[in-house]
Chain A
Amino acid sequence: MFADIIITSLINGSTYALLAIGFSLIFGVARIVNIAHTAFYMVAAFCIFFVTHHWGFHPIVGMLIAVPLVTLLGMVTYGIFIAPIREHEAAVLIGTIALAMALQEVMLLIFTGNYRSVPPLVQGYFTIIGVKVFYQQLITFVAALVILGALRLLLMKTRLGLAIRSTAQDREVANLMGMNESRVALYTVGISIALAGFTGAVIVPLTIVEPFMWLHPLIMMMAVVVLGGLGSIKGSFVAAYILGFAEAAVVFLIPMGAFLKGSVALSIMILVLLIRPEGLFGIVFEEER
Chain B
Amino acid sequence: MHELLNHPAAQAGLIPFLAGLAAAELFQRARLSGLAIIAGFAATVYLASDFDFYPLNASRKIILSGLACAALALIIDVLRLRWVGPLLLLLGGATTIWTALRILQQQEPQLMLQWGAACAAYVAILIWGMDKLLDQEPVRAASAGTALGIGTGGAALVGASGLLGQFGLALGSAAAAHLLIQLYTNQTLQTGRVFTLPLAMIAGLTGCIAVLGAKLPWYALIVLAGIPLAARLVPIPGGSVRIQSLLLVPLTSVFAIAAIYLTWRVAGDVPF
Indicate, yes or no, whether A interacts with B. Answer: no
Residue numbers of A with Cβ under 8 A of B are none
Q: What residues make up the interface of B, taking CB atoms closer than 8 Å to A?
A: none
